[in-house]
Amino acid sequence: MNAIDDLRCDVLVLGIGNLLWADEGFGVRCVEQLAAEWDLPPSVTVMDGGTQGLYLLPYVQAARRLIVFDAIDYGLEPGTMKRVEGDQVPRFMGAKKMSLHQTGFQEVIAASALTGQLPEELLLIGVQPQELDDYGGSLRPAVKARLAEAVAMAVARLTDWGHAPRRRASADSHRLNGSALTMAAYEAGRPSAAAASRIGDARFLVA
């Protein structure tokens, strides 16, 4: 057996993005909410892919089916949801790069296809971001409001694929990441705009 065999799963649900840059964190918040609210069968792996790029390659290669949550610049109104499937997914993952993680993940999809190990079925659940250049910021209201809808899309697809999740009685003890990274803790610990510059210190910016 090789390393990929050890990672085999029927479905990989992957959230990619960066929690530190406002709406860039959408994908990660989606998988956090999915893991907290739904009890998933062993055949489904839920992962915070962050900005790991090509490090995610063996996980994608090992999956039979793939669901990806991400913030994608579709050129639409902020908060607009868009579902992309199958052969269209690679095109949208690199349509308009907002950050380095998108370049990396587009390469993951391309490398998986090149090696003949692309998942049989692909689903991209994306949202149009409103704000990215806000270091330490959280999701904007228009984007945060779409979390439940995005998770519901994934639950519906998992059910269609025969991997129906069961809603948990309580989400308090089921965290994908550490408690300090939960949305409530993250937002509560953020300094005010007066206490910390969120786009750069004007004293050091050159006109």
- State the pLDDT at residue 119: 96
Q: Report the number of distinct structural domains present in the chain.
A: 1
Q: How many CB atoms lie within 10 A of CB 157?
A: 19
- State the pLDDT at residue 1: 52
Spatial separation of the C-alpha atoms in residues 149 and 91, rounded to whole Å: 23
**Residue in the structure block whose two tokens are 């705009």:** 193
Q: Residue 102's domain spans which residues?
A: 3-204
- State the pLDDT at residue 173: 64
Helix then strand then coil, in percent of the chain rounded to 5, is 40, 20, 40
Q: What is the pLDDT of residues 172-184, one digit of tens each?
A: 667 888 888 888 8
User: Can you spell out the DSSP letters for 16-42?
Assistant: ES-TTBGGGGHHHHHHHHHHHHEE--T
pTM score, two decimals? Answer: 0.87
DSSP label at residue 135: B
Spatial separation of the C-alpha atoms in residues 180 and 128, rounded to whole Å: 26
E strand residue ranges, the chain: 9-16, 38-39, 44-50, 63-71, 81-85, 121-127, 166-167
Whichever domain contains 13, its CATH number is 3.40.50.1450
Per-residue pLDDT 10s for the chain (207 aa) are 566 778 899 999 999 999 988 999 999 999 999 999 999 999 999 999 998 888 999 999 999 999 999 999 888 999 999 999 988 887 676 555 555 545 578 889 989 999 999 999 999 999 999 998 888 889 999 999 999 999 999 999 999 999 999 999 876 667 888 888 888 888 887 776 666 655 555 555 555
- State the pLDDT at residue 152: 98
- State the pLDDT at residue 126: 95
**Residue in the structure block whose two tokens are 């790069």:** 97
